[in-house]
Every structure is written in structure tokens, then in C-alpha cells.
Amino acid sequence: MWFNPDLVIIELESESREDVLLNLGNQLVKGGYVKGDFIESVLARESNFPTGLPTKPFGIAIPHTDADKVIDPQLAFASLKTPVTFNTMGSANEEIEVKLVFMLALNNPEEQLKSLQRLTEIFQDEEMVLKLSQAKNAEEVNELMESSEKARF
């Protein structure tokens, strides 16, 4: 399973990037998956090292931070009711409208490499990105993610 149901937020209504990060981060803190200062750290990193990806048909963001803030590695997911603005990874002052957010709480990239690689393949699949934005609950999100896995192996 890709996402614990308590780490999936569907059609989140929020007005800002910070608000989205707070909502997802709180779920991770509540579940005991990350330390209390994870959220603060993610917010700071997002300002210094933005994580918006100019994918199609709309942008995706992958906020994350240092490994030492993570207790039990997890991925958290949010689809946004209305897009919010993120800065683009790797280029200054470029903004994109993001509709899907994958918050990465990772502490061992080698072990988690396969999941990360699959994630990036999903980002490159326009149809999948669209379907994920339309998913109605955590179960549907997980089914979609797994269906793409099956197609590939």
C-alpha cells in the first residue's frame, strides 16, 4: 500500500502553499511518523529549495526535508480543491499551479529508491496525474498507484 489512509487528504481546501504543508505535516506528526519540528523544517526548506514540478496536466509538489526529522518513513498525499502556487524546483522565481502534493517523509533513500522511482514515473503519466486528482478517497488513490505498478512490471 502506498499511503496510510490517515495520510491521504482528498480535495483539501486551502488558500496557500503553507496551509497545504501544515495540513499534511500535521497528519504525519499526529501519526507519530515524524518529529514535531518536521513541519517547521519542511516550511523552511520549501522557501529555500522549492519542490514544485511542472508536470502535466497540472503541477505537482513534493515537499520534504532532512532525514533526521523522520521516525517512520511514509508518503502523504493531498489533492487540492483549487490549485495553489508553488515555486518550481531548480529555477528561481518561476511559479506553477499545483493540484497534487506528495509529502515525502524519508530517511533511507537507498531502501526507498524503488518507491521514489515509481513516483516519478507516475508524475510523467498525464492520465494518471489527472485520475489521481479525481480520486474520491484513500482507497481509490492507492488502487490507482498500484494499478500503474502492475502495468509496469
Q: Which of residues 122-141 bind another protein (CB under 8 A)?
A: 123-124
Q: Does 25 bind another protein (CB under 8 A)?
A: no
3-class DSSP state for residue 22? helix
CB of 33 to another protein, least distance (A): 16
**Cβ 129 to another protein shortest distance, Å:** 11
Among 110, 150, 152, 153, binds another protein (CB under 8 A): 110
3-state secondary structure 23-78: HHHHHHHHCCCECCCHHHHHHHHHHHCCCEECCCCCEEECCECCHHHECCCEEEEE
Neighbours of 105 (CB within 10 A): 26
Contact between 87 and 94 under an 8 Å Cβ cutoff? The reply is: yes
Is the Cβ of residue 10 or residue 35 nearer to another protein in the bound state? 35
How many chain residues bind another protein (CB under 8 A)? 31
Residues 68-107 that bind another protein (CB under 8 A): 88-92, 104, 106-107
Nearer to another protein, 124 or 137 (CB): 124
Q: How far apart are CA 85 and CA 109, in angstroms?
A: 27
CA distances from 31 to 14, 34, 111, 118 (A): 22, 8, 21, 24
Residues that bind another protein (CB under 8 A): 45, 48-50, 53-56, 62, 64-67, 88-92, 104, 106-107, 109-110, 112-113, 116-117, 119-120, 123-124
